[in-house]
Structure 1
C-alpha cells in the first residue's frame, strides 16, 4: 500500500483539492489543508514502510498508539496538533477541521477501487489508526486553542469593564471629596453651588453602585425577586434623586401623579435600577435648560413608564444599537456605556419590554412596558 500511495500522491492530493473547491474555501484555507494533508500522507507512507520491516513497532513513533490509550507523542500527533491550531487561525469550524482527513481517506478508497489495488486488513487498520490519531490530535488542539481564545477575550472584556468602573468610581469619589473639603473650610455652605456638586457626586456614586449590582445579579442568573408594589411609591422613590440630578445638570425635572390603584409585580431593585439608568442617561445627554419628565400610567392591561429627555433627537438608525453594551452615542463619553443595556436586561428580567421612540429635533422617549396589576387596599 505504501508504494500505491507514493505512486499516486499527486492524484490523491488533487482529488482532495477538488473536494475543497466544492466547499468554496478561501485560498489561505486551501493552502493550509494542502500542507496538512501532504504531511499526513508522507507520515502514513512512512508508517506503512516501517511496519513491513523486522521492527514494525517502531511505526508507533510515527503514527502513535491505537485509540483508547493515553496520549503519546508521535510525528502524526505533533503535526496534526499544529494543523488543528492553524485551522482555527484560518477560520475553520470543528466540523470542517475533520473534513480534510475524511477527504483523503475517501480519495484513497476510491482510487484503490478504480486501480484494482487491494488493501489488506492490517494496512487498512494502520490507515484507520493514523486517521484516528491525526483527527483526535487536530480536534483536541483546535478545541484547546478555541477555548483559550474565548477565555482570553472574556478576560480582556472583564478587565476593560473593571477598569472603566474603577475610573468612573474614582472620578465621582474625587468630586465628592473635593466638594466636602471646600465646605469644611467654612467659606461655603451646604445649600450653595458646592453643596449641589457634592449632592450630584453622591447621587452618581449611588447610581453607579446600583447599576453594577444589578448587572452582577443578571450576569449570575439570579432569579428576580418579584413583589407586588404600588407604582406611585416607586415613582416617589426616584423623584428626590432625580431632582438632585436635574439641579446638577442644569435641567428641570417633572414627574406625573400616579393612580394609587396601579401596581407592578416586579423585582424592586432591578426596576429602580432600570428607571435610574434611564434618568441618568436623560440628564447626561439632554441640552441645558431642557425638561426631563417621568410619567407612569396604565393603558388597558399594561403599565407604561416613560422617561422623556431633551437630547435633540436620535441619529438615524441608532435606536436599537444604543441598547448594546459599551455603546455611547453622544459627545459625552464619561461612564461605561452600560446603562441602557443593563436597563433593558433588568426590564426583561421583570417580564417587560424597554423601547425607545425618537422625537426629531426634540429628544426621545424611553418606555418601560410591564403587566398591569392592582395595588392592595
Structure 2
C-alpha cells in the first residue's frame, strides 16, 4: 500500500482576498478612465450626477461579475471539486488499507490453523502406522494361541472341557476378525485398480465398530441385495469411507432416545448405489455446502479434525465414484455413495 500524498490545490484564503481587492480596484480604475475618456472626447457634454452614478454602477457590475467569476468563484469551485475527489480517494485508500489488514489477519489465522491441522494429520498418520504394526504383531501369536486351543479341544475327553474350549475359540476368532479388519483399514492400496464385494466389506466394517456402536446404543440395520455386482473400489477405501460415515452418524445422534443407522444398496442406471442413513437431526442448510471442505467441523475442539468427509470424497473420486448427502423428509440424514461395477 503506497503512501497517501496530499497536494495543495486551489486558492488560499489570503489569495481569495487579494483577488477580490484587485478586481475592485481594477473595476474602479476602468470606470473612472472610461468616464474621463467620454467627457474629453465629447466637448461640452454634460450629465447629471445621478446619471453618472447609474452608469458607474452598471459598469461596475458588468466588470466585476465576470471578473469575480473567472478569477475567484471558478477557481474556488474547481478547488472544491478537487478537494472532494481527493477526499474520496482517501476514503477508498482507507477502505483498501483496512481490507488488506483484515486479509493479512485472516491469512495469518488460516496459516496457524493449517499448521495445527497438519500436526494433527501427522499424529493420525503415525497412529495408523503404529496400529498396522501392532495388528501384524498380534496376528502371529494369535494364530499360535488358536492352534493350541484347537489341539486342547481335540484332545479333551469330557463335554464340559470341549464346550469351554469352543467358547475360547469363538472369542479368539472374534479377535482374529478385528485384527483382520484393522489390517484392511490401514493397508495402503491402489483403490481404483481393485475391486471388492459390497456385502462382506460392509459387514466387516460394522463388526469392527460393533462395540463402539453398542456402547452408544446405536442400532445398525443392513439391507443389501445378494446379487449386487462387485464394485470398482478397494475394500480398504470402502471401509475407510464407511467408518467415517458411521462415526459421524453416531455423533450426530448423540443424546437421542432411539438411534438408528440403515445401510442399503441398489442397482441404478448401471451403477451401484450405497445409502448410509440415520435418524439424527440432519444437516443445517447453511453448512450443507461446507461439510466436504477440508478441516470443516461442527464438533468441539479436540473432538474432530474436519477431515473425515473430505477424505471420503477424495477416496470416492479416486475410484471414479461420488458422494452426496440429503436430509430425509421425516428426520435424519442420508449419504449416497455411487460406485461403478467392476
Larger-Rg structure? 2
TM-score, normalization: structure 2? Answer: 0.48
TM-score, normalization: structure 1? Answer: 0.44
